[in-house]
Structure 1
Amino acid sequence: MRLTSPPSPSLKCNQVIRNHPSALEIYQNQLLESGKISKEDIDKIHKKVSTILNEEFKKSKDDIPNKRDWLSAYWTGFKSPEQISRIRNTGVKPEILKRVGEAMTTLPETFKPHRAVKKIFDLRRQMIETGEGIDWAVGEALAFATLIIEGNHVRLSGQDVERGTFSHRHSVIHDQETGEQYCPLDNLVMNQNEELFTVSNSSLSEFAVLGFELGYSMENPNSLVLWEAQFGDFSNGAQVIFDQFISSGEAKWLRQTGLVVCLPHGYDGQGPEHSSARMERFLQMSDDNPYVIPEMDPTLRKQIQECNWQVVNVTTPANYFHVLRRQIHRDFRKPLIVMSPKNLLRHKDCKSSLSEFDDLAGHPGFDKQGTRFKRLIKDRNDHKDLEEGIRRLVLCSGKVYYELDEERKKSDSNDVAICRVEQLCPFPYDLIQRELKRYPNAEIVWCQEEPMNMGAYTYINPRLLTAMRALGRGSIDDIKYVGRAPSAATATGFYTVHVQEQTELVKKALQRDPIKSPL
């Protein structure tokens, strides 16, 4: 007798799949059994759909694609990279700031929040009333609130974004007795449309959530859509979304997006996984040419429109307010990667006055046209006639500025100027050159707290050299590096080592002796 082997499991599986009714068949049968639809109705639907598909297929043979066909009707009026978009101010009238500020810091009389939360809201109300000491959370809330009352939708998702990972946001608070929830940004004006503000704690599925928010932002350009990682490195789980869609979506499919991605970043001694948002990855994926200075005339400039995205490392609540409002108050859209702070959320010096948020021209340090996002913040000291005597110009970005400024005060190094590059990409050539001209005899230093092979150094270095050469100044040897040595890990896991490294790099940036070239 001849023996045969039994059918393989894969063959059985294929047979089961082939014999299983399709989802359409199952749904049709359910409708028929329920009596809600007849066989004749189903046949009519099939015929209608087939007719539409066949007609559209015939049309497609002679169709010539138009760039605008890639955008939904909501995108009517938005400009392409070929069109000049004028720079707009993003300040808000003082009376509006006061009004929404009071509304978003006022809780219902019968509401009983946690006593610590109550204290936070009382302090916020004081900030609005005095117009001083505005912190990061209030600056962000003011940006959201002013956009909302202008009729824009604001949407924020991410892990623990309602409270804020660092217990700083408190966009949704809870009654300690009843469990009732209250959202201040849903109660800015009478009869407010609650759909204008959406804040959602999301699961630790960064790939899925970021992909969803990207799709939302592409469908509705009049929404400020933000996704926040709990820590910067959490974005690793969504890297394919950055690589395949956000960084290159406009180049591949002509689809713009104004999606904002907030990635907590900063070296606080908490180890590799909580220190770095891998800024270098986003800068490496930037498509601006490091050897060509684009048109920088404000009336002709298309620098942001022509790049694939923006990367910022902002150091003041007011500048954060303006960069968020800038996302909506212009007639094109571009992704925004924000290196968000951690300890600056409550830093004693990371504060802004309410006047830095308003739309009045003439404030010290602001353009005569009005208030807007500062791509670079010049040195806070008034050097004026002493500019030629400045021995060193330290360029930096992010929280290391405050450590440098504190050390400068301690060491009485008033002959050192410190400038903050708030917008890393696209590179602010015009403002960098303005500072180079101000300090013609200064040693040029780039200071960062990240290792040399990380952070902004490899992105900044060739662009800074291009800016210098255009002024007939120096070579690559004249750009000095101060920061951590190259490393495989983003940061040390030992707090004492972190403190030693941080102290050494801050002191080195301000030392009296010339700094040696890294080459």
Structure 2
Amino acid sequence: MRLMSHLSHSPKCTRSSESPSALEIYQKKLLDSGQATKEDIDKIHKKVNTILNEEFLASKDYVPKRRDWLSAYWMGFKSPEQLSRVRNTGVKPEILKNVGKAITTLPDGFKPHRAVKKIFGDRAQMIETGEGIDWAVGEALAFATLLVEGNHVRLSGQDVERGTFSHRHSVLHDQETGEKYCPLDHVIINQNEELFTVSNSSLSEFGVLGFELGYSMENPNALVMWEAQFGDFANGAQVIFEYTKSNAAAKILRKTGLVVLLPHGYDGQGPEHSSARLERFLQMSDDNPFVIPEMDPTLRTQIQECNWQVVNVTTPANYFHVLRRQIHREFRKPLIVMSPKNLLRHKDCKSNLSEFDDVQGHPGFDKQGTRFKRLIKDQNYHSDLEEGIRRLVLCSGKVYYELDEERRKVEGKDIAICRVEQLCPFPYDLIQRELKRYRNAEIVWCQEEPMNMGAYSYIAPRLSTAMKALGRGGIDDIKYVGRAPSAAAATGFYQMHVKEQTELVQKAMQPEPVSYP
């Protein structure tokens, strides 16, 4: 009671009528410093008041039009009602070689850190041989080829210049002079330095993501990206995802092609640095899990009709293509990328330069052309109707490499592993292609996240719908392999992480049928 009485008599925390406003303080500072005169300030006041009065009067009989919500730069982009054909995103080999040389060559006399110098030497070797392209080079090639085509490429976030995991090195520093050098500013002769923007941001996910979202709405002809330092940092910007990014087209009639990179993967770094909360983004997806949409490539509008895309990519080449796909379309949709951590330097996470080009006749090319693969087939190249495959393991993300390693260890030649690279919208056509190929196989979904997290809740009903359409059973016939349901995203003990990871990988490859959890 005493406390309540004290509070009731305490002064209110509001600005007193005698206190000057922020505008008055600013005006006084301008006058005192001589940067503006009283006449200048009066002129500005009059101009602003005139604009406000005119707009107020015009609003009384104004009837809004749908196109008023879009910037003039958006004219010509297609709506979900208009078919946009799938486009190839491969690049001519000579262009890849030229830009590859440009982004791996440092100026004469420039002295980078010795470790960085070795990295760029290794990258130059990758481009020269066309083999062993890693994640960072795949990303840089995507940026560089878009720049050559005249597109603005923009990346912001905490430590994006170097890359949180010391992998990107977009901005280099001379160890003696402190001079900065950005290789992607020199992809073409006399390149405008504003064409490529990479900026380390402040520790404000909400503010920075909000800014980039606005930027992407104004400029559809730019690849605009925001990267979280760790995937869980997206928690600080969740209101942006829920209020605007996931539903901008439906709620405020605004389009955006913003790309969000969220480092994700279970490496034993504890509950705060393992998960980008993939399940949240999939839960906010608006595709119907019980209806297979039109999947004919010549008629498909699946992505156009979905509110956004969610991918978990496993090769540098596929990452290259999904970034270029954002620009080489006649429409724009937000893209959520569960980007990797340990795959940045994984010995098997490599691509050949041929997987980036547009030349037919190599393994990375199919009859439709070089483009983003929504699903990657089993790499053992089984025949189209493989009767002897007893288990089809579907997975997404870096767990694939652990599964493949265990399969080699146990010589599981009768197990096929397919990677679902695009989770949302769900690739029904490619899933059904694999179901037809392995028609006698046990169907397993494997993930490293707990059962109540990750992609399982999203995948299960959609996979069931695809199976039912083929007479392959339903949701009860999908075996789950992964961590048990949990309140925390991951364990805080490394030894426990290793034990859990080993058990789930071994279970997916075990000789006997997988039991329900």
Say if 2:384 and 2:437, in contact at 8 Å, map to a contact too.
no
TM superposition shift of 1:24: 4.6
1:294-305 alignment to 2 at 5 Å? 294-305=293-304
Query: Percent of pairs identical after alignment?
Result: 82
Q: Distance in 2 between matches of 1:509 and 1:490?
A: 21
Say if 1:394 and 1:447, in contact at 8 Å, map to a contact too.
yes
Unpaired stretches in structure 2, ≥5 consecutive residues = 1-5
Q: Distance in 2 between matches of 1:370 and 1:149?
A: 21
1:344-423 alignment to 2 at 5 Å? 344-384=343-383, 387-423=386-422
TM superposition shift of 1:40: 6.7
Deviations 1:463-483 (A, max 9, x none): 000001111221222100011
**Residue equivalent to 1:291:** 290
TM superposition shift of 1:80: 2.1
Say if 2:147 and 2:195, in contact at 8 Å, map to a contact too.
yes
Amino acid across the alignment from 1:412: E
Amino acid across the alignment from 1:459: Y
**Residue equivalent to 1:10:** 11
Query: Which moved further from structure 2: 338-347 or 196-205?
Result: 196-205
TM superposition shift of 1:28: 5.5
Q: Distance in 2 between matches of 1:186 and 1:175?
A: 16
TM superposition shift of 1:386: 6.0
Amino acid across the alignment from 1:404: L
TM score, norm. by length of structure 1: 0.94
Rate the CA distance shift 1:179–1:459 in 2: closer, same or farther, 3 A.
same
**Residue equivalent to 2:3:** none
Query: Which moved further from structure 2: 178-187 or 376-385?
Result: 376-385
TM superposition shift of 1:511: 1.2
Q: Distance in 2 between matches of 1:338 and 1:385?
A: 31
Amino acid across the alignment from 2:184: L
Query: Which moved further from structure 2: 372-381 or 199-208?
Result: 199-208
Query: Which moved further from structure 2: 425-434 or 492-501?
Result: 492-501
1:430-469 alignment to 2 at 5 Å? 430-469=429-468
Query: Which moved further from structure 2: 198-207 or 169-178?
Result: 198-207
TM superposition shift of 1:460: 0.2
Amino acid across the alignment from 1:325: R
SS at match of 1:504: helix
Say if 2:465 and 2:474, in contact at 8 Å, map to a contact too.
no
Query: Which moved further from structure 2: 265-274 or 40-49?
Result: 40-49
Q: Distance in 2 between matches of 1:75 and 1:363?
A: 37
Q: Distance in 1 between matches of 2:291 and 2:96?
A: 41
Q: Distance in 1 between matches of 2:32 and 2:495?
A: 72
Deviations 1:180-206 (A, max 9, x none): 111110111221101011111112211
Deviations 1:291-321 (A, max 9, x none): 1111111122111111111110000000000
Deviations 1:199-257 (A, max 9, x none): 11112211111111111111111111111111111111111111111112221101111
Query: Which moved further from structure 2: 157-166 or 116-125?
Result: 157-166
Say if 1:361 and 1:369, in contact at 8 Å, map to a contact too.
no
Say if 1:362 and 1:368, in contact at 8 Å, map to a contact too.
no
Deviations 1:136-171 (A, max 9, x none): 000000001111111111111111111111111111
| Paired residue total | 511
Rate the CA distance shift 1:394–1:33 in 2: closer, same or farther, 3 A.
closer
Deviations 1:385-407 (A, max 9, x none): 66122111100000111111111
- Cα RMSD (Å) of the superposition? 2.0
Q: Distance in 2 between matches of 1:344 and 1:376?
A: 18
TM superposition shift of 1:55: 3.6
SS at match of 2:480: strand
Amino acid across the alignment from 2:11: S
TM superposition shift of 1:326: 0.7
SS at match of 1:389: coil
Q: Distance in 2 between matches of 1:390 and 1:506?
A: 18
Rate the CA distance shift 1:30–1:477 in 2: closer, same or farther, 3 A.
closer
Amino acid across the alignment from 2:236: G
Q: Distance in 1 between matches of 2:134 and 2:37?
A: 64
Q: Distance in 2 between matches of 1:186 and 1:338?
A: 25
